[in-house]
Structure 1
Amino acid sequence: MRKYLFLASVSLFSSTAFAQSVEDEDGAIVLADATQPTITVTANGLSTNVENTGQAVIVVDRAEIEAVQGGDATRVLQRTPGLSLSRSGGVGGFTAVNIRGANAEQLLVLVDGVRVADPAAPGGGFDFGNLLLGTAGKLDILRGSNSTIWGSDAIGGVIDISTRGETGASGNIEYGARDTLFASAAGGLSGEGYYAGLTGSWYRTDGFSTAASGTEPDGFEQLALGGQLFVDVTSNLEVFAHANWSEGDLDLDGFPPPTYAFADTLETQETRRHWGDLGFAWYGNDLTLRGSYSLSDTERDNRDATGATTFASDGHSERVALRGEYRAIGPVTVAFGAEQEWTDYAASFSPAGEADIFGAYVQLGFAMGRVAAHVGSRVDDHSLFGSNASYGADLSYGFGTDWRLRASLGEGFKAPTLFQLLSDYGNPLLQPEESTSFDLGIEKGTRGRGTHLALTAFRRDSEDLIGFVSCFGVSGGICTDRPFGTYDNTARARAQGIEAEAGFDLAPGLRLSGVYSFVDTEDRTTGLDLARRPRHTATLFADYEAPFGLKLGTDLRLVGASFDDAGNAVRLDGYEVFDLRAAMPLSDAVEIYGRIENVFDADYQSVAGYNSPGRGAFVGVRARM
């Protein structure tokens, strides 16, 4: 069992329970000491100590997820510097995540290492409205371009969500505003050389009117299930598997006649997703190998008030991958990998399409004492647009008692989506979007404990960005056979700014933390701000635990003004949202908790014309066995 825990903690698909757990002398699993290193998987594709990478990474574990409370992922994500959010309505509504001003579709999202973006979506991005935290064990978030390791989509950054993995059993149930009920559970069995775990969550809410002008509430319901298995075949060989499934039903508002203005309707959307992988890990004295086969599928059906399907889509991807690391000599390591992915999609009113992409990379690493450095390159070959090369490097240098300088330079690219290439609006001559980013930072301590300070400056330049081109009144050229419009590589963009993080233990049991970001974005073609990219965002959060167990917490989110559209004609005002949290253990196994979201009932919009939730109170109980 000791070997399993070690393998799980350094696994690409590790979860917090494994990475933070050890066995006591009686063989029972207990939480590790808080001084254990923070492990990231997004920096180089294999598990490494955060202090050994020059890239900007934060890791949010299950303990923090439970402290924040609730199933809404945005409540945790807003603690990430450089990250902004926009949501069309309530929980379940389309939720876009922008890192350092990049488009939401330029963020690579993984669950247990599996790509989960929808290949049938026009922009090929991931909708965080379909991500609830009941089954999540850890969020590993990298800011900055890193296509050298991850290939397509990693322009803004990478987020890897690990499924919960726990021995024994735990669960929670909560109820609150807008008739919202959220329940989740996780359990697992472990023995000498194996671990098997299951997790699930259920969420339902009556919601509120998605349309700011409406009164009819729009609800959301989702059921999600997941499982994982690790088995030691030999002392050096482990096999693993993950499987996840979710189904959600969302009420929508639309544009009804005769005015066709955004208003209440009885439209709905059903989203069904399944993804998973099967693979092996081999650990030798100098060589580590991980091979896997993975798949991801997203089906969507939009229905009108009568239940008739008005639009349907199905995006599917499969991938085989091999990653490895070889300890070449002394402090030098060689990381390498290769991947082959096949994607296809089908959608109403559009011809079906498919494509494949092959990528391979190599990265040299050096680590000695408090110095760590990496440099690597990658080549990808796409069946429809050809080849693309990416490069990256990073450096980390520790000094003083607990300080670290870090710097990184990375390139990113995003392949045109199947819809952009092959639909009735498609352009088969599209080239990939590309970016070059760099950052320089200084950091003291470790996020979440002791005195932690970090300041990072960054810049990213992007070119060949894909945009929609209207063909109204135009014939010939790029508009040939595309009377309603098409896609083209038309834009360039720049994003630059600073990110600041701080955390202090002010008194026994009392910790104050915060993040602030200044993100200046510009469409280099028009000179205007990028849409829905506030220049200033900040989150301040404080937590106190009394000697008798009572836990109190606050979260204050501050968001500056932005523009809703690329033409900068529609302004979105800045806003502040204040939340209160509390929890009280009744025993070693049972805890009651509650929170008030948006205490001062702030009225705000992150997407023009769409409501955001007002004040709401929630109470719950969690138990562990």
Structure 2
Amino acid sequence: MGTTRAFPKHVACATALGLVLTLAAEVRADETAATPTPARGEATALVAAGASSGQSALAPTGDGVIIVPESQGVVVSASRAGLEPRAVGSAYTVVEQEDLQRAQSVLVRESLQDIPGITAASTRPGVVGAVNIRGSDNEQILVLIDGIELGDPSLASSQYQMEHLTTLDVARIEVLRGNQSSLYGSDAIGGVINIVTQKATEDGYRLNLEGEGGSYGTRRGGASLLGRQGIVDFRLTLQGQAVDGPSLTVPLRGPADEDDRAWQYNISGRVGVQLLPSLLAEVMGFHRIADQDLDGTGQDATFSTNSDKNDDAIALRLTHDAWDGRWTNQLTASWYETDRRFYGQGQPVDGDVYQGAKRNINLVSTIRPVDIVRLVAGFDLEREETDQVTAFSGNFTADNETNSGFGEVALEPVRNLTLTGAVRHDDNRRFGGYTTWRGTAAYYLADVAPGTDVKLRGSYGTGAKAPSLFQLFDPTYGNALLQVEESEGWDVGVDVFEASRDIALELTWFETDVTSEIDFDFAAGGYIQRGETRNRGVELGLTAQPLDWLRVQQSYTFLLNDDLDLGARVGKARHVGMTMVTVSPLPDLDLSLRARYRSANEASFAGRTDGFVTFDVLASYHLTADWELYGRVVNVLDKDYQTVAGQRSYGLSAFVGFRTSLDVGALAGL
């Protein structure tokens, strides 16, 4: 099939060039130099805006992820120039592992819905549902896991679906909002979601275990073994999850007396080897198998749409630091492949088959010749392939390639003021070339009041999104005349951090216009290109711990989205928010009440959904420093609501589980 084709010769040549550059840098590297530490005022960061305390020696990965020493606990995906959090002018949020555990988020998609600017269509395991940022569609958002660029070219819009992605081994999730094409390319006109998995931070071996069970026959569990010894560190994770129901269909739409099940298992891991003091080699990847009977009808005897999905990913990376960390070169090669099969009435015995593959090679070189200037240059080579054999809409095989070059400049002309500019040119084999750019500004004010820091920020940029292979070439619904979508947008905001009460506030005003947007037209029976839409609104994020025993978390998004050609609202949910209050009556006991709310969605693909408010109660208790018991009651008022028209959400349900982290060496008596 098409996914077995090799990269063309120019890709191999570019890879060789990247290796030569990396090895050449080694000749000039000072392998013993240490990195200076900034003053305290420069290390202060804004947690709610996606930052936490860090130092200035930040090394960019091949996908723009900024990694600092593990003791800092910071990853920022907002620039390829290695900026400190105080210097980032983009709007972004970071969710740390402790936040995921406090919220008892099982799926990554579930945790995302509590971030300002994000709406998640469904949080049921196995159910395909969109994640939107600032009103943008799922296919306009790039998803990364440990630098692996994900996306399924066999899907209608080539997006990455998160229906099976769990939080078991996640260290942090970063969400970068707004136009990011100049940094990340075609798939990022709405934003970027970067998922970073756990990594061993000290010598020795540690075993992390989790297990959970509850309503609807839910059972899930997993284990992660992390270790570091000498120049080698690794992580190996095994995880599985299964649910037995309830029926996905809403009873009002017909019989709903059969349960819709879903299960998935995956293995993932990472190995890093410090080949030289200044040269790190890494291999990471995952393999997942999943099966679901989520047909959206009430009785399997009448209709059945079972599906299987296998997906695999692997990435290899070389990172080299030279000149006391002032010059960093990173070469990354990644591969992601999916195989989806649908079985049911009117479909072949072997099912409708959709196979896709996405391959990337990129090199990023970052240099800081003087303290106030950082320069970035690099290239990105991408190949997409799909094979489709289906009775649904016909068979086809197609592929596409995009070669890109990009650069970024970051300046600090005066103390605490950082300006950045980025530009990227994409050369698409089917659409020719298009250029995107972006500029940001951040001004950091330390101690504007005792213990209070403020950051003023703003950004403006353009984006471009190429049509998917399905949208172009599907025999029934494709349109080979489709052209590239274009976008332009800005945001301005303020972040405030007050240390004594651990208050972190982010407030952002944004607007994005998308022109030549690709849409499905039922009257035309396929994909069309239409005029211009505008998304604008306000994002609010707040965390605070005013008392030792009291913690408050708030997120809220106000969104207006309009079809400028028709002069009418598109009708997506205008108000989306979450409020969570946690009290600790005992040192090791946390009790939380969480409310999630959303106004009506007139633009839901399957029809209108009404607004709703749901309440959850959560509890966790630390038996020891290593063992935690937790539980939650979801939708305590048994609210009947839908996030996708016609699809049932969980009613009143309960779940209990445990977590532990064990020192393997201590257990073995070593």
TM-score, normalising length: structure 2: 0.83
Call closer, same or farther: CA 1:543–1:21 in 2, change over 3 Å: farther
Of residues 506, 510, 513, the one that matches 2:550 is 510
Matched, 1:579 2:627: no
2:389 paired with 1:359: no
* Secondary structure of 2:182 counterpart: helix
Could you tell me whether the CA contact under 8 Å between 1:211 and 1:264 is conserved in 2?
Answer: no
Q: State the match for 1:554 in structure 2.
A: 593
Q: 1:162, 1:585 → 2: CA distance?
A: 25
Q: How far 1:47 moved relative to its partner? A: 4.8
8 Å CA contact 2:377–2:407 kept in 1: the answer is: yes
SS for the counterpart of 1:233 is: strand
The answer to whether the 8 A contact 1:447-1:503 is kept is no
Distance 1:493 1:447 in 2: 41
Q: Which residue of 1 aligns with 2:189?
A: 155
Match of 1:595 among 629, 632, 639: 632
- SS of alignment partner, residue 211 of structure 1: coil
Distance 1:37 1:437, change over 3 A: farther
Determine if the alignment matches structure 1 residue 99 to structure 2 residue 133.
yes
Tell me if structure 2 keeps the 8 A contact 1:536–1:559: yes
> Structure 1 length as normaliser, TM-score?
0.89
Q: Which residue of 2 aligns with 1:338?
A: 379
1:132 equivalent among 154, 157, 166: 166
Q: Give the residue type in structure 2 aligned to 1:463.
A: T
In structure 1, how many angstroms separate the alpha carbons of the residues matched to 2:80 and 2:343?
40
In the superposition, relative to structure 1, how do residues 263 and 572 fare at CA in structure 2: closer, same or farther (>3 Å)? Answer: farther
For this pair of structures, how many residues does the alignment match?
590
Cα 1:558–1:256, aligned 2, differ >3 Å: closer, same or farther?
Answer: closer
Residue 268 of structure 2, aligned match among 200, 216, 226:
226
Asked if 1:521 corresponds to 2:561, the answer is yes
- Could you tell me whether the CA contact under 8 Å between 1:37 and 1:49 is conserved in 2? no
Describe the SS at the equivalent of 2:98.
helix
User: 2-side partners of 1:19 and 1:264: how far apart?
Assistant: 55
Displacement after TM superposition at 1:387 (Å):
0.8
- 2:241 maps to 1:203: yes
2:310 aligns with 272
Which stretch of structure 1 is more off in the superposition, 198-207 or 159-168? 159-168
CA RMSD of aligned residues (A): 2.9
Q: 1:450 to 1:249 in 2, by over 3 A?
A: same
CA contact under 8 A between 2:181 and 2:188: conserved in structure 1?
Answer: yes
Secondary structure of 1:95's aligned partner: coil
Gaps (5+ residues) in structure 1? Answer: 23-35, 473-484
Name the SS of the counterpart of 2:467 in structure 1. coil
CA apart distance, 1:37: 7.0
Secondary structure at 1:431's aligned position in 2? Answer: coil
User: Please, which of 108, 111, 117 is the counterpart of residue 142 of structure 2?
Assistant: 108
Structure 1 Cα separation of the partners of residues 83 and 471 of structure 2: 36
**Separation (CA, whole Å) in 2 of partners of 1:578 and 1:337:** 47
Contact 1:112–1:161 (8 Å) recurs in 2: yes
> In 2, Cα distance between the equivalents of 1:383 and 1:264?
45
From 233, 236, 243, the counterpart of 2:285: 243
Cα deviations across residues 340-382 of structure 1 (Å, max 9, x unaligned)?
1111001122210011001111111013632222101110000
Deviations 1:248-303 (A, max 9, x none): 1111225799xxxx997432111101112002000012210110110000110011
Alignment of 1:455 with 2:489, yes or no, is no
Seen in structure 2, the aligned counterparts of structure 1 residues 38 and 236 have a Cα distance that, compared at 3 Å, is closer
**Aligned letter for 1:438?**
W
Structure-2 separation of matches of 1:135 and 1:328 = 37
Of residues 644, 647, 659, the one that matches 1:622 is: 659
The corresponding residue for 2:483 is 431
Of all paired residues, the percent bearing the same amino acid is 27
1:153 is paired with a residue whose SS is helix
Q: Which residue of 1 aligns with 2:471?
A: 420
Please report how far the alpha carbon of residue 49 of structure 1 lies from its aligned counterpart in structure 2 after TM superposition.
2.9
Q: Given the alignment, which residue of 123, 127, 141 partners 2:157?
A: 123
Residues 465/582 of structure 1: CA separation in 2 closer, same or farther (3 Å cut): same
Query: How far apart are 1:216 and its partner, in Å?
Result: 0.9
**Match status 1:83 vs 2:118:** yes
Q: CA deviation at 1:486?
A: 4.0
For residues 589 and 298 of structure 2, the distance between their equivalents in structure 1, rounded to whole angstroms, comes to: 50
Q: Quick check: 1:67 aligned with 2:99?
A: no
Give the deviation of 1:323 after TM superposition. 1.0
- Report the Cα distance in structure 2 between the residues aligned to 1:217 and 1:317, rounded to whole angstroms: 34
**Residue of structure 1 in register with 2:438 after alignment:** 392
Q: Does residue 143 of structure 1 match 2:189?
A: no
Could you tell me how far apart the structure 1 residues matched to 2:148 and 2:500 are?
27
Take 1:614 and 1:236, find their aligned partners in 2: how far apart are those partners?
54
CA distance in structure 1 between the aligned counterparts of 2:57 and 2:149, rounded to whole angstroms: 20
Given the superposition, is the C-alpha separation of residues 299 and 603 from structure 1 closer, same or farther in structure 2, using an over 3 Å criterion? Answer: same
**1:538 corresponds to 2:587:** no
CA contact (8 A) 1:211 1:263 kept: no
* Deviation sequence 1:131-178 (CA, Å, 0-9, x none): 222232211100101100100111110001112224511111011011
Q: Which deviations, in whole Å up to 9, do the C-alpha atoms of 1:438-489 show, x marking residues without a partner? A: 00001101899711122110000000111234676xxxxxxxxxxxx44332
Q: Contact between 2:250 and 2:647, CA under 8 Å: does it hold in 1? A: yes
Please say which of residues 553-562 and 461-470 is displaced more in the overlay.
461-470
| 2:458 equivalent to 1:407 | yes
Are 2:215 and 1:215 aligned? no
Structure 1 position 420, deviation (Å): 1.5
In the TM superposition, 1:454-473 aligns within 5 A as: 454-469=506-521
- Aligned mates of 1:124, 1:551 — CA distance in 2: 41
CA shift for structure 1 position 100: 0.3
Q: Decide which moves more: 485-494 or 313-322.
A: 485-494
For the Cα contact (< 8 Å) 2:362–2:380, is it kept in 1? yes
Check whether the contact 1:385–1:429 (CA below 8 A) recurs between aligned residues.
Answer: no
- Per-residue CA deviation, residues 382-434 of structure 1 (Å, 9 max, x unaligned), is 00111110010111101224011000112111111011122213333321111
Higher strand share: 1
Task: Look up the SS of the partner of 1:363 in the other structure.
Answer: strand
Q: Select 2:421's aligned residue among 371, 375, 400.
A: 375
2:241 partner letter = Y
**Contact conserved, 2:87 with 2:444, CA < 8 A, in 1?**
no
Distance 1:20 1:307, change over 3 A: farther
Worse-superposed segment, 48-57 or 302-311: 302-311
Deviation at 1:187, TM superposition (A): 1.6
Distance 1:273 1:11 in 2: 27
1:482 matched residue in structure 2:
none
Distance in 2, Cα, partners of 1:563 & 1:283: 51
Q: CA deviation at 1:545?
A: 3.1
Task: Specify the code of the residue in structure 1 equivalent to 2:587.
Answer: F
